[in-house]
Structure 1
Amino acid sequence: MLVVDIQKANLYGVGWSMGANILVQYLGKEAHTSQFSGAVSMCNPFDLVKHLLVFEDLGGNYNIELAANAQNIREYDEGLT
């Protein structure tokens, strides 16, 4: 049986897509108190406001205003998917 002392173990964060966005935002706000030894962000979404014109030409039922002003991940997801 392997016993690990959690106080001495390294903790790493990994985020993919929207999870990567959440991880990066968390680290940006809480890096000074974070317990992470390292983190990896993969395929995180781009800045919606800076890339607004990309969505205008795609067509579809996007709600860019909802996504750009989202207060939580559900609103963001609802606006773009």
Structure 2
Amino acid sequence: MAIVEGHNVFPHEVEEPLRSHPEVREAVMFASSAPDRLERVHAAVAVGPGARVTASDCAAGHGNTGTPGVRPTPY
């Protein structure tokens, strides 16, 4: 779990939309602390052989969740 802008961000909130893409086999969320002492949410994805998934494809799966930090950066 990460705390972003005072909100708890749980891994499933980040990972499930990424996994919904047909070419994404696995997704994992991780957090890092920035020099400003704020947490940032990141994600890594594994795709199948020959898949052509872009960061834009991944971002499109998150849409506008309304919860800060659920849309990871960078992809």
Structure in which a larger fraction of residues adopt helix: 1
TM-score scaled by structure 1?
0.26
TM-score scaled by structure 2?
0.27
Structure in which a larger fraction of residues adopt strand: 2
Structure label with greater radius of gyration:
1
Greater RCO (CA < 8 Å, at least 6 residues apart): 2
